Structure 1
């Protein structure tokens, strides 16, 4: 044990000695405190804490650990070329991704000042280098060429981690990516620009590999967008994934390599089938989902189609329809009473317009029978009834159902997974981009490109983590995964100063069994306080 005199008081350290080059040297030391602190500890007590603060640990540590495995900083710096600035562009981009993935709705400086990242990132950057101004100044060095090079480099890292599972990809379109307030060339004001995002993602895990942002008012056709993105990976088998609204843009009779949903209303023969051909898809991953694997004519060609039925979706749609029908019936009763009382004296055209407003939902129109009697204002009478048989048919044919078409011979569960990839990505991007664009002022094309890159890389990291959790038997969305990790917290106990430097002690919170499993899965022990 050695003592150091600081400010007139002696502070003790437990020193570890060893011979270095034949000479004794102190190779490690641990702070013990003052003589009073040591005496208190020997008596079974502890120095009184002056304060404490709590911060999240698991989400930041897991995302940072994943960024390290992807070697993001090194790969970005290699793509950027020689740099004089410190920290490097690679560091600033990694920090931006960490911030976006764990606290997308906060200011960077505020987040950094209280974040556990300061204790995880080594070497720790100087405090004056992590400011909003310096951060944005560094990201301005991301030219379009560098952005493309970074995407390619990170995609290579992902495919290396996935091995053979990274050789198959999906092309998807996230039409509701973000809204930006961009400068209007004709005035000093800005206007909202809706942006979509085309993506090539891994088939396993929906991990982004390549992207292209576009303005919604000048959007390319989906087929052209998919062809452009797929061309970046000629060595990968890219499958086009589309939703029902895009099906009409694609000639599925002549196309190969696709998975997508078809408009349910256009396939009565499929939605009406209620035979015993429905089978559970995967009780663990898709609880309550059954499917009928059959064939039907699509754009003039016999194709494999899969009709799915979700018990959860069926129940939700039934509740929504019941509320919709109740509202329509109540409003029709009110209109009928007004006509009978003479307080509504419109002609038949006006009454028809009012009825159309009330039953404007397609599903309500299918089950309501409405009769008008009389022709002159004041004499028109309305009656209505609900066709219960039509209600039953509606539930049997539409509620909880989806028609998927594909030319792939994958298992049904894999077809469903591919078809739902876009939905998962939309959910991820809503969370990643929902707050940031709103408070960012005027958006130039370069700022949009950088924001898109950071968002895509954040999705890449979190979807890679989600895939690993899924492989470990934890079927979680990105939001659920990060929420579980965020629950692994860290408390910093600050002890009173006795004349020298105040001491702080970091301890992790207790963990649930699932949090412990994630703690071990992502190797968070290496980041834990010692």
Structure 2
């Protein structure tokens, strides 16, 4: 650095010297300013001229997991030779990163508001990080490539899991997403088409390995058994267990089927519902607080099967709350009907009044506990009284609330049976997170074609693969979090970018991470975010 005295003040330059023709010469110099300018531009000198906050932890953890799965290279291997500078694999990786961390923002907003632009390398051109460019690039995903990508990523997952990935579950997520019909030309007349998703996932962590999206209202939706068989054929070397809920049990012949975990309608086995609470045992206080169970056997579809009656304190509270709301609504409606009959404003005959009572008490639970009595036969003289049978309420609550009946032919511990059965619930929660506002579709919204639906499903499934792999690692480290809770914790690890005044060149900036609480620090260490830190 050299100084030049001009007008009584010293101005500094950053100079580089070299020998030219054997003599030392200044070959380049850059103006820095006065001593005060330099001090003000240095961190720790004058205050910065501006600052902005960006999300860091969730983006860094997801991108690090994408790198561990070698997603870009694996997708490009499936795609084959490409001309584009930004390859299909890179676009898919960006789409997965955005889907998992976008939080309702468009590609452009998300890219500008998070640390991805400093973490993702090679840095994509600005024109590639837009919603339009995203959908345009992903048009190259043909059905064959989509299947190939899923297979390649599944191989990466199984390599990471080792022996833990040899056992899988087949599950159905019937409420996967809704898409506006592709042939709709008048937006106001468009109706959403419901789509379901069949999945094969690892038993350990419910990490997706294969999927099939289907339209539910087309009349051609596959039965759950056929869907599971189709997906299972893609992993013939993997031991696949069918997971179903009580509403699907009637579609399956459990007497002949092998390899399943599911639930049965509680009313089908009243002898289990009346078992005393003292017969239940705690399942796993650390993983399932408030869950108790009875492990026994019962006849299901003509065959003696292992059945497990579970009682969840959380489910009990939710069901009791919903029931009391339902009962309160029914009694309020009956009281209104009684008042209208008393005042003479309701002029219906006895048959019409009976029909209204039946409508109000049509729920099976309400019909058991709410009694309505009519007196009088002529219009204008009919009167209504109602009574809540508290003894019936107590019996209903004791017999049904908080209880589920699981059936299986597996000899796994009860905790593993419960975990397998709840895999569908975990996945539904994940897809609600991933396919909510962050899942921006084509513009205009009603231009959903079958290919775009398939691409949307692939990106969602890959995002679930990445986040469930992260969730599994957090669970093994003693942090039992849902995908939403995990990403929320990571999102709390932010980055502040401080901008300092220019000294003649580009403005100087400094990136620092926000303070972390103990839970965030544990996740920071678990996912090795130090390597991405400024």
Q: Secondary structure at the match of 1:492?
A: strand
Deviation at 1:331, TM superposition (A): 2.3
- RMSD over aligned Cα, in angstroms? 2.4
Distance 1:2 1:275, change over 3 A: farther
Contact 2:307 2:408 (C-alpha < 8 Å) held by counterparts: yes
1:199 aligned onto 2:204: no
1:314 matched to which residue of 2?
Answer: 316
Q: Secondary structure at the match of 1:409?
A: coil
Deviation at 1:183, TM superposition (A): 2.4
Q: Deviations over 1:107-129 (max 9, x none)?
A: 11221123211101122223233
1:174 matched to which residue of 2?
Answer: 173
Q: Identify the match of residue 465 of structure 1 among 467, 470, 481.
A: 470
2:144 matched to which residue of 1?
Answer: 145
Deviation at 1:371, TM superposition (A): 1.6
Q: Separation in 2 of the partners of 1:313 and 1:489?
A: 35
Deviation at 1:319, TM superposition (A): 2.0
Q: Identify the match of residue 410 of structure 1 among 409, 412, 426.
A: 412
Contact 1:37 1:46 (C-alpha < 8 Å) held by counterparts: no
Q: Separation in 2 of the partners of 1:129 and 1:186?
A: 28
Contact 2:39 2:46 (C-alpha < 8 Å) held by counterparts: no
Q: Separation in 2 of the partners of 1:160 and 1:55?
A: 34
Contact 1:48 1:496 (C-alpha < 8 Å) held by counterparts: no
1:208 matched to which residue of 2?
Answer: 208
Q: Separation in 1 of the partners of 2:516 and 2:113?
A: 22
Contact 1:336 1:381 (C-alpha < 8 Å) held by counterparts: yes
Q: Separation in 1 of the partners of 2:477 and 2:206?
A: 17
Q: Separation in 2 of the partners of 1:13 and 1:432?
A: 53
Q: Separation in 2 of the partners of 1:114 and 1:345?
A: 63
Q: Deviations over 1:250-283 (max 9, x none)?
A: 0101111000111112221111212522111111
2:496 matched to which residue of 1?
Answer: 491
Deviation at 1:464, TM superposition (A): 0.5
1:362 matched to which residue of 2?
Answer: 364
Name the stretch that deviates more: 244-253 or 439-448.
Answer: 439-448
1:381 matched to which residue of 2?
Answer: 383
Distance 1:498 1:242, change over 3 A: same
Q: Separation in 2 of the partners of 1:285 and 1:489?
A: 30
2:459 matched to which residue of 1?
Answer: 454
Q: Secondary structure at the match of 1:493?
A: strand
Distance 1:162 1:33, change over 3 A: farther
1:476 aligned onto 2:481: yes
Q: Separation in 2 of the partners of 1:116 and 1:13?
A: 34
Q: Secondary structure at the match of 1:49?
A: coil
Q: What is the number of residues matched between the two proteins?
A: 508
1:51 aligned onto 2:59: no
1:160 matched to which residue of 2?
Answer: 159
Q: Separation in 2 of the partners of 1:323 and 1:212?
A: 38
Q: Separation in 1 of the partners of 2:15 and 2:169?
A: 58
Q: Identify the match of residue 332 of structure 2 among 330, 333, 337.
A: 330
Name the stretch that deviates more: 309-318 or 195-204.
Answer: 309-318
Q: Separation in 2 of the partners of 1:211 and 1:319?
A: 36
Contact 1:291 1:306 (C-alpha < 8 Å) held by counterparts: yes
Q: Deviations over 1:321-344 (max 9, x none)?
A: 122222222222222233233332
Distance 1:2 1:252, change over 3 A: farther
Deviation at 1:518, TM superposition (A): 0.1
Q: Separation in 2 of the partners of 1:471 and 1:348?
A: 64
Q: Secondary structure at the match of 1:276?
A: helix
Name the stretch that deviates more: 98-107 or 188-197.
Answer: 188-197
2:26 matched to which residue of 1?
Answer: none
Deviation at 1:362, TM superposition (A): 1.8
Distance 1:54 1:146, change over 3 A: same
Distance 1:191 1:317, change over 3 A: closer
Q: Identify the match of residue 428 of structure 2 among 426, 429, 436.
A: 426
Q: Separation in 1 of the partners of 2:117 and 2:33?
A: 24
Deviation at 1:2, TM superposition (A): 9.1
Distance 1:238 1:337, change over 3 A: same
Distance 1:35 1:84, change over 3 A: farther
Q: Separation in 1 of the partners of 2:284 and 2:362?
A: 37
2:397 matched to which residue of 1?
Answer: 395
2:28 matched to which residue of 1?
Answer: none
| Structure 1 gaps, min length 5 | 15-31
Deviation at 1:389, TM superposition (A): 1.1
Deviation at 1:360, TM superposition (A): 2.7
2:127 matched to which residue of 1?
Answer: 128
Q: Separation in 2 of the partners of 1:330 and 1:479?
A: 38
Q: Separation in 2 of the partners of 1:233 and 1:376?
A: 70
Q: Secondary structure at the match of 1:183?
A: coil
Deviation at 1:385, TM superposition (A): 1.5
Distance 1:343 1:458, change over 3 A: same
Q: Separation in 1 of the partners of 2:33 and 2:223?
A: 69
Name the stretch that deviates more: 358-367 or 514-523.
Answer: 358-367
Contact 1:179 1:437 (C-alpha < 8 Å) held by counterparts: no
Q: Separation in 2 of the partners of 1:165 and 1:90?
A: 27
1:264 aligned onto 2:266: yes
Q: Secondary structure at the match of 2:354?
A: helix
Contact 2:184 2:446 (C-alpha < 8 Å) held by counterparts: no
Q: Separation in 1 of the partners of 2:400 and 2:260?
A: 24
Q: Separation in 2 of the partners of 1:346 and 1:10?
A: 97
Q: Separation in 2 of the partners of 1:521 and 1:164?
A: 22
Contact 1:11 1:34 (C-alpha < 8 Å) held by counterparts: no
Q: Secondary structure at the match of 2:104?
A: coil
1:445 matched to which residue of 2?
Answer: 450
Q: Identify the match of residue 522 of structure 1 among 520, 527, 532.
A: 527
Q: Deviations over 1:362-409 (max 9, x none)?
A: 211111122212221122222221111111111111111111100001
1:85 aligned onto 2:84: yes
Q: Separation in 2 of the partners of 1:233 and 1:312?
A: 36
Q: Separation in 1 of the partners of 2:51 and 2:184?
A: 52
